[in-house]
Chains A and B, each alone.
Chain A
Amino acid sequence: MQSPFSAIFAAKMFRHFLTTSGACVLMDAVMTREDALIRLMKDHQADVWRFLRLIGCESALADDLTQETFLYIYRNPIDEISHAATAAYLRKAARNLLLNRRRKEGREHPLDVEAAEAAWIALTPTGHGDDRLEALQRCLEKLAERSRSAVDMKYAQGRSEAEVAELLQTSLDAAKSLLKRTRAQLRECVERQVNL
């Protein structure tokens, strides 16, 4: 017959093992719905906002729709089976909120749903946008000096392409081409990095 004392002792030891091994997510106290919402937002709000910006939302609208997305999830809780799955669901809800908003405003929003989703997934296979940004940071460090300068002028200093051309002492077309090539180079590099 199983001794309850040895079983309880084993249970405690096992809990201790899990706690010390960092696997003890199960130990979390039961959360309220508000706690769950806060946790969900902490995990996903940045990527929902980024996705909305990707599909054409201006900054203020992305702020607004990100909030609405999570309020919707608060009212309609989902089964969270993995980070990637939850992220996919949130993107879908955010996307439809944007389309609804545009409809109400009487405007059509040009959006190729599948293409946007495919581009996001290809560059974010882990479901964490931060991983993609870290990869991009590493890729930036590998750029040739001229390409890096062009990128810095355009995105860090907010200069126009004409200004970039002037500062690099080249033509406007050449500057545009350089930036386009550099973005393509970065995309390939990021795709490789995130799939390592």
Chain B
Amino acid sequence: MSYAETLIERDLLELLGGDAPPDLVELTLSRLAAGGADPTDHTAPPAAKPAGRLITLRRLAEAAVVILAVAVIGWLVTRPPALPPGVTAARADYTVHEDHVALTDGWMLLTEGAPEVRHAGSRVHDVTGRAVVGGLELPDARTLGEVANELNLTEKEKPMFTNPKRWMRAAGLTLCLFTGTAMIDGVMFTAQDPDTKVDSPNPGESAKVGALLRTSTSIKVNRYGRILTISDATEIKDITTKLTGDGFKSSDKDLSSNDPYDWVTFVLPDGGKAVAVGLSQGTDCEPGYFDLMLPGWEGHHAYTIPAAALPVFEKLYERAMKEPKAVVSPEPHHVAKVKEMLDTATTSTVRTYDKDQWGGWLQFDAAKTVPLRDAIRDAIKAPAEKAAGWNHMNEVRLALKDGGVIEASVYTYGNLVNLKLPGWERSVDYTCSESLRQTMWAMMFLATDGPYAKGFEVKRKWAGADSTIKERRCEIVTTDEAWVKLWLEHTAPEVVGGKAAPNVDFGKDMVVAVFGGEIWNSRGYYMYETLQGDSAWTIRVDQYRYQTVGPDGGGEVVYPFGIFVVPRTDRSVVIEEDTQGMIGEPPRWLAIGGRVALITDPPKPMVEYNADETVQGSWGQDEAGRETKLDTFTLITDQKGWEQTRPLVKDDAINKLRPDFDKQVVVVAVVMAPKGVGQHRLQFVGRNAARTVIRHIAPTAQTSGEAQQVEFIYSVWVLPRPSTGLMIEQPQYRRLDQSPYWNEKYGFKSR
């Protein structure tokens, strides 16, 4: 009986005979509680059964001869089938089918144009960059290194490939995505490293541009929506040599009126693409031209075509016309058809830009894609004249049902959306309604608290150019003790008036601090991007830089810093800084600090304790003036201070207090409030090894606008003398029905 028939039989037994699967949740949880989780890797095939007895040398030799003979015959008979363009295999068992490649074992490097690859019930498809796919078992680093060489990976890709943390384990396979995007079972994944693109030469450097084109690994020719793919190395060399031979040079000619819907793509070794459009054949008096765009260029640049290359392109176009018609996107001005194409989007990835930082890429499944694609479809109106810049936008990539990806960038400011459909070599700006930008904001809000959120919130931050830490360094702080020490080091008394470290709840949060050392023209650091990986978090920072003029450039020496409170993680953390010096160029990330996974537990909550004595009272408005001699909060730590302060309050109860300043301190708080609203309430006094915190709620009342009698309310607290800094906090309510956020009001450093 075949498995299909057995399956029907099993289903009949379940449906009619009641042999149904039991609910095993409780049993499993019991086993889990009893420590029953099995650490063995069961995604790897079981090891072969060990031999039960010794094999004699003779038998061994006989077996070796037989195996060798079988292997030779087997190799001759079943040599691996030729792989389609875009696929390179290493140590792989596979079969090639009409519309896909079935990978049984080993690794495959997929580049743009690769067919679908299936493995263990999952499929990888629509790769737009470079990715390696393999089975679930990742070997040791040495074997990975050998495989990397067999796959001819670039020098930038090899470290990613050999780092297990860079591998994504999803469905029945593993994937290492170097550049671009890839889809697994209909869900799109995006490479995280924008800096793995090629370093393109400047448009004017014709020789270097030519040299780069000659390294192409494949060429695609699009003629009226029919696509010819050339992957034969000899032919590619012939084409690119003729194209970049004598007569290939940079030109100022404007080719924007030429037909942009035929194009030639040169796929470069690391997955980047050089795209040529607007080919003109030339005349007897004038050479032919084309517009070329390399990775990293903002637009196209014109080049002349050597006469020897023109017949080559004519033949390529003729060959392309014999190819079957590919999926063709509508032209940009057919807005209704563009909208129809948007309707076929199934999944999406989104990344938002807000408050000077990019969020991570967020994966959205079909249910979450529908409202997003509908919002874009309903919002777009007509092609706009304004040229797109790349900055300050929310980016969306919509994966289409029939393959291909629509790239959309929604501007944070202004009602414009930039679209690029499959097959378009230039993106087009469209005017759109205000609602689209609002939707993108909503997406950002939605994403930050959902399980799909990849970036994380910066809860508080301090940045500036006047740190007293004057060497370049990074700190990741997870304990109150270390935080107080760092803050004291960072804020000399003359800078912040001796204020104590702000309170951070290290049970939930941690502090990431970056100090730039002595440099010029910076206003401090901001958080650029946070990438929340499974094994490590990456925190990317950049500086607010500015330019000066004057003798020697007029540079100002500064000591920039950025201190960020972010959600606590016990995973590894990497801090990266953008080292790109050129304005408008994509960032170049350099690791500047970090820490390995944390194994210590979060700190325990503060120990609460009570004030030893409390005296409260008030004086009337007629005694105005007395308060001017008292600060709102006064910390008294010795008898002399007490003798100076006590008479100002004028309360018999205070005269009876006898604080022991060897063991105690006194805090005097005075506020003005409408008459009769009550007293200070001491909410919490707590301390740990690093600090003592007093949280109090001052009396408040809403005023009616009419003149009201006010009074001055005072509270005097005698507290056990802290050996640490003291922080007095007041509540701030975002919403009255929510818990307050405690904001430091006054702080005193420890002696």
A residues with CB within 8 A of B: 1-2, 6-8, 10-11, 13-15, 17-18, 21-23, 25-28, 30-31, 34, 37-38, 41-42, 45-46, 49-50, 53-55, 59, 62-63, 66-72, 74-76, 78-79, 81-82, 84-89, 91-93, 96-97, 99-100, 103, 112, 115-123, 132-133, 136-137, 140, 151-152, 154-156, 158, 180, 183-184, 186-187, 190
Query: Is B17 touching A156 in the complex (CB atoms < 8 A)?
Result: yes
Query: Is A155 touching B16 in the complex (CB atoms < 8 A)?
Result: yes
Give the residues in chain B near A49, CB-CB below 8 Å.
21-22, 24
Query: Is A17 touching B371 in the complex (CB atoms < 8 A)?
Result: yes
Q: Is B452 an interface residue (CB 8 A)?
A: yes
CB closest chain-B residue, reference A62: B21
Query: Is B6 touching A54 in the complex (CB atoms < 8 A)?
Result: yes
CB closest chain-A residue, reference B362: A26
Distance (whole angstroms) from the CB of A187 to the closest CB of chain B = 5
- Residues 168-185 of chain B, each 1 if its beta carbon lies under 8 Å from chain A, else 0: 111110000000000011
Q: Is B13 an interface residue (CB 8 A)?
A: yes
Name 16 interchain pairs, CB-CB below 8 A, sorted by A. A11-B444, A22-B367, A26-B451, A49-B22, A54-B6, A63-B24, A63-B27, A68-B38, A84-B185, A86-B171, A88-B122, A89-B172, A103-B49, A136-B11, A136-B12, A136-B15
Instruction: Report how far A92 CA is from B122 CA in the complex, Å.
Output: 11
Knowing A38-B29, A121-B121 are in contact, say whether A71-B46 is a contact too (CB < 8 A). Answer: no
Distance (whole angstroms) from the CB of B443 to the closest CB of chain A = 8
Instruction: Report how far A91 CA is from B122 CA in the complex, Å.
Output: 12
Knowing A7-B441, A17-B371, A71-B38 are in contact, say whether A133-B14 is a contact too (CB < 8 A). Answer: yes
Distance (whole angstroms) from the CB of B204 to the closest CB of chain A = 39
CB closest chain-A residue, reference B3: A119
CB closest chain-B residue, reference A106: B49
Give the residues in chain A near B3, CB-CB below 8 Å.
54-55, 112, 115-116, 118-120
Q: Is B701 an interface residue (CB 8 A)?
A: no
CB closest chain-B residue, reference A15: B446
Knowing A54-B6, A119-B4, A187-B5 are in contact, say whether A25-B368 is a contact too (CB < 8 A). Answer: yes
CB closest chain-B residue, reference A151: B12
Distance (whole angstroms) from the CB of A114 to the closest CB of chain B = 8
Instruction: Report how far A116 CA is from B185 CA in the complex, Å.
Output: 20
- Given A11-B441, A136-B12, list of 18 further CB < 8 A pairs? A2-B413, A11-B438, A18-B371, A23-B367, A23-B368, A26-B451, A28-B451, A45-B21, A49-B22, A67-B27, A72-B42, A81-B184, A85-B121, A85-B184, A88-B172, A103-B49, A136-B15, A156-B17
Give the residues in chain B near A184, CB-CB below 8 Å.
5
Distance (whole angstroms) from the CB of A74 to the closest CB of chain B = 6
B residues with CB within 8 A of A: 2-17, 19-25, 27-29, 31-32, 36-47, 49, 120-122, 136, 168-172, 184-187, 363, 365, 367-368, 370-371, 412-413, 435, 437-439, 441-447, 449-452, 534
Give the residues in chain A near B370, CB-CB below 8 Å.
21, 23
CB closest chain-B residue, reference A179: B9
Query: Is A15 touching B445 in the complex (CB atoms < 8 A)?
Result: yes
Give the residues in chain B near A82, CB-CB below 8 Å.
171, 185-187, 365
Query: Is A54 touching B120 in the complex (CB atoms < 8 A)?
Result: no
**Residue in contact with A25 in the complex, picked from B27, B367, B412, CB distance below 8 Å:** B367
Instruction: Report how far A53 CA is from B8 CA in the complex, Å.
Output: 12
Instruction: Report how far A119 CA is from B370 CA in the complex, Å.
Output: 32
Query: Is A99 touching B45 in the complex (CB atoms < 8 A)?
Result: yes
**Residue in contact with B37 in the complex, picked from A72, A123, A155, CB distance below 8 Å:** A72
Knowing A82-B185, A155-B16 are in contact, say whether A41-B25 is a contact too (CB < 8 A). Answer: yes
Instruction: Report how far A69 CA is from B8 CA in the complex, Å.
Output: 24
Query: Is A10 touching B438 in the complex (CB atoms < 8 A)?
Result: yes
Give the residues in chain A near B28, CB-CB below 8 Å.
37, 41, 67, 70-71
Query: Is A123 touching B4 in the complex (CB atoms < 8 A)?
Result: yes
Query: Is B4 touching A122 in the complex (CB atoms < 8 A)?
Result: yes
Distance (whole angstroms) from the CB of A128 to the closest CB of chain B = 13
Distance (whole angstroms) from the CB of A126 to the closest CB of chain B = 12
Distance (whole angstroms) from the CB of A13 to the closest CB of chain B = 7
Query: Is A120 touching B7 in the complex (CB atoms < 8 A)?
Result: yes
Knowing A85-B171, A88-B172 are in contact, say whether A152-B185 is a contact too (CB < 8 A). Answer: no
